[in-house]
Amino acid sequence: FAPRAFTASAPTRSVLQSTVEDETSSAVPDRVAPDAKWVPDWEDRAGLSPDVFMESDMSKSDLSGMWECPLTRWDSDGIDVKKAQAQARRQPKCPLEVRAKPSDNEAGMAYFEKNRDRLRGDLLKYGAVWLRGFDLMKDVNGYREMHEALGLEPCLDPLHSSGLRKFASERDALYEEVNKPSLRGHYIGLHCESTAKRTAAYAAFVCFQRATEGGGRFLVADGAAILAEMDPAVLQKLYDREIRISVSNLDIPPAFPGPLKEGIKIAVDKAVAPKFDMDLEMIYESDGKPGRLQAVETAESPINRHPVTGLPVWFNNAHNHARKLRDRRPCGVPEVGMTEVFYADTMEPLSLEDCQEIKRASESCITALAMEPGDVLLVDNYRALHGRDVFQGDRYHAVSWFTWDDNEEWRGEERRIVEKNGMNKVINQMMDWLPKDFESDQS
């Protein structure tokens, strides 16, 4: 496919501003859908009905006791930024498209058994592999046969307890993607499925039903390509200063006395933060809003070496989490879930100029996939970043996360802890109550 312009939806006007910008200014940012460089055409392939594609084979083993998401593999010290960019420029374009031939579809699961080593090798080389036009993965059972034939070992989402995703088929270790009607108007920026603490090794995103009324393209970009594209001065600055990400907000009345606010901070830190299985620090007013208590991750490098290849890549979620970018594109996240990215050394939010360079470099590397029923995108989660465009109507995509299947030390011995499900279910119920097409500037 060739590069061409991509416009997801018409620009819309917003009354929401970043909390660190001058609220008295008359310059209110427009919400404009981001672009993508590569936009393959739709092929209008037919799928199955939901009652068929989600019917699990009860004769198969129950995978609900899957592995815990493995700990993040950090190797970010002593990176020469200029040499890293030169190395990144030599990498092949991501993703690799693998299109099914009639004989491949006739072979079914046997195709993946036969081509396991090649596909796993391509995943490591390219960062993502788009399996396009395969009939096997049009339902949950064929999808499971595919990833089992490839030898992938399912694990929990690193943010399992956050409620951002719920299980589509728990016994098949399959999560529903962000298909909620309340979030269909929300653009999901590029991110790795990771926190400073936990990162899935691989993912397999599957389309069972494309958006019925338009949009909903799945976004993927190579972390090596973004690293190569970024302005060297900005990249060096971010690498030297590192970043911290706030993941949630709790607005306390600013007039509350100091001891009461401190008591709330301690209570939240002890009772709520541990439920998210993240290393968080509760900090007041980091983004400049009076009374706001934010849960902030520990400092992390924006560049990391791939655990297997050693290739330095752009490995962070700034494109998705930076508030100045969210405020300028379609966003449907309630204020409690709005995020921000800070320079780790000063806890100041990233400047608008640095955010704009992150946006430019990232979006120049995006492929906006036309995923249709049966299509799967295999992702190396330490190499490629992913996201999702806004959509209209109903859409059903799903994903399984995978741990290290060939390294027991990296995988660890932890299995799923069922008690973590409470927070997941509560937050999912809350999100289901939101009206369709929820906008983030609503209360």
DSSP string, 59-108: TSPP-TTPBPPPBP----TT--HHHHHHHHTTSPPSPEEEEPPHHHHHHT
By three-state DSSP, how is residue 189 classified? strand
The lowest-confidence range among 176-180, 213-217, 414-418 is 414-418
The lowest-confidence range among 28-37, 156-165, 336-345, 425-434 is 425-434
From the list 419, 432, 433, 427, the residue with the least C-alpha distance to 336 is: 427
The average confidence (pLDDT) of the chain is 88
Question: What is the rounded average pLDDT of the residues 389-417?
Answer: 94
pLDDT at 187 over 60: yes
CB atoms under 10 Å from CB of 86, counted, come to: 11
pLDDT at 222 over 90: yes
337 within 8 A of 245, measured Cβ to Cβ: no
Q: How far apart are CA 430 and CA 362, in angstroms?
A: 32
From the list 219, 248, 244, the residue with the least C-alpha distance to 161 is: 248
| pLDDT of the residue at 164 | 62
Question: What is the rounded average pLDDT of the residues 301-327?
Answer: 97
Q: How far apart are CA 298 and CA 273, in angstroms?
A: 13
pLDDT at 21 over 60: no
DSSP 135: S
Q: How far apart are CA 6 and CA 35, in angstroms?
A: 5
DSSP string, 312-328: EEE-S-HHHH-HHHHTT
Residue 264 falls in which region: left (phi positive, over 0), alpha (psi -120 to 50) or beta: alpha
More confident residue, 33 or 89: 89
From the list 185, 178, 137, the residue with the least C-alpha distance to 8 is: 185
More confident residue, 326 or 21: 326
Q: Are strands 312-314 and 303-305 parallel, antiparallel or unpaired?
A: antiparallel
Question: What is the rounded average pLDDT of the residues 267-296?
Answer: 84
pLDDT bin (cut points 50, 70, 90) of residue 287 is confident
The lowest-confidence range among 205-214, 262-271, 287-296, 381-390 is 262-271
pLDDT bin (cut points 50, 70, 90) of residue 380 is very high
| pLDDT of the residue at 6 | 46
- What are the tokens at 242? 């590192």
| pLDDT of the residue at 29 | 80
| pLDDT of the residue at 277 | 74
| pLDDT of the residue at 334 | 84
H helices, E strands: number in the chain: 14, 20
Question: What is the rounded average pLDDT of the residues 190-196?
Answer: 93
Question: What is the rounded average pLDDT of the residues 328-353?
Answer: 93
The lowest-confidence range among 221-230, 275-284, 316-325, 406-415 is 275-284
The gap from C-alpha 131 to its chain's centroid, in whole angstroms, comes to: 19
60 within 8 A of 144, measured Cβ to Cβ: yes
Q: How far apart are CA 377 and CA 206, in angstroms?
A: 7
Taking the alpha carbons of 273, 274, 275, 276 in that order, is the dihedral positive or negative?
A: positive
The lowest-confidence range among 138-142, 153-157, 259-263 is 259-263
| pLDDT of the residue at 336 | 86
From the list 184, 112, 164, the residue with the least C-alpha distance to 376 is: 112
Q: How far apart are CA 357 and CA 235, in angstroms?
A: 9
Q: How far apart are CA 8 and CA 13, in angstroms?
A: 15
Question: What is the rounded average pLDDT of the residues 253-258?
Answer: 92
Widest distance between CA atoms in the chain: 71
CA distances from 18 to 187, 292, 322, 328, 331 (A): 17, 14, 10, 9, 13
DSSP string, 34-55: PP-SB-PPP-------HHHHT-
